[in-house]
Structure formats: structure tokens, C-alpha cells
Amino acid sequence: MGQAVAHFRADPAVRSVEWKTRGHDSAPGLHGALLAHGFVPADAESIMIGAAAALVANVPLPPGVWLRQVTGPADVRAVSAMQDVAFGDSVSEARADDLLRRLAAGDGTELWAAGHEGRIVSAGRLEPVAGADFAGIWGGATLAPWRGQGIYRALTAQRARSALQLGKTLIHSDSTEYSRPILERYGLVKVSTTTPYNWSREP
């Protein structure tokens, strides 16, 4: 653990690190080691798995809300900033840069967003898994005033459609307590838990 943190510290471009533990893994002492080296645990998330086809549905959007794939740098940065706000974080240019790198990697990752007029209000990624039938849905976030109106559900349905078009028949997701009940209603099953531990470089 000490060597890992030293590696992160040695690269000034690394401002923060997320280390995820899995509920089904046996790793005695890992929790204490992470705490001892400055990692802070967040809330546990549910690992969800299910059929992509089960998530496909025609979901009506609220009046004036649009949904589309996002590719341009300005829109990607707007999505990243919205996600930071939705998750209660400070807006981070570094996270936006990382998202742009992911989309430019050529691995099939897609970014989908919903907005109202010129403002993005919800978004999430689709990440196909190479050599497998799975695609992951990640980063789903909706601004608080827009929750409970079907927007996240519509984004999930669209990402599932896109997964099927890519030949991916299964979906996996690490879900917060906001998204877990939605995915469960459409057939995804909780198979384990995962806990994010976050490390940040001191000012």
C-alpha cells in the first residue's frame, strides 16, 4: 500500500485516486491499510447485473427535456461539471480532462446526456467490456431539482439500446441507493457490494 501511494505522489498530475474494494473478495487488513494511508471510505454501492434488453423502454421525458449522445469537448466539460455538482463535489477540470481522455480512447465508451434548454441536467456513460457480453453503465447523475421525473430511467434505457447495438447483451453497474431501486425494478440483480475509498493530494 505504501508503494502504491508513493507512486501516486510521485506523479504531480495525479490529484486524487479511487480504490474500490469488493464485498465478495477476501482481503484481510485492506480496510485498515487504506485508512492508514489516507484513503477515506464513501458509502457502499450495490454491484448490479442483468439483461440489457430488460432496461429498454419508451420513457417519456418531461416537457422541454432533450436526450442525446455527447461528443464535443465543450459539452463533455459541461457534463463533467454537472456530475460534480450532482455528487456534491467541487467542479474539477481534472475530472473533465479524464472524461475527455476516456472518450478519445477508441474503446467504444459513449456519453449520453439529458438537458433542458441550454443546461445539462442528467448524464451517464456506457462502457463496453472488450471480449465479453457485458457493457457497464457508469457515472449516472441527475441534478436534484430534476430527480424523480424519469430522466435517469430514460438515459438508462437509451444506454441499454446502445449496448445492444454494440452486441452487448448484459449490463453491470455499481449503483448508489438512488439508482439501485430503479435498476431492480427492471430486472437487474444485486450480486455483491463495492466500497469506494478516496485519496486526495494535500494542498
pLDDT digits (tens, 9 = 90+) for 29-58: 999 999 999 999 999 999 999 999 999 999
User: At residue 21, what are phi and psi to the nearest 5 degrees?
Assistant: -100, 155
Would you state the pLDDT for residue 109?
95
Would you state the pLDDT for residue 15?
82
pLDDT digits (tens, 9 = 90+) for 74-87: 999 999 999 999 98
**CATH second-level architecture of 46-193?**
3-Layer(aba) Sandwich (3.40)
Q: Is the pTM of this model over 0.75?
A: yes
Question: CA 83, 171, 56 angle in degrees (round to 5)?
Answer: 85
User: At residue 73, what are phi and psi to the nearest 5 degrees?
Assistant: -55, -40
In the chain, list all ranges with CATH 3.40.630.30: 46-193
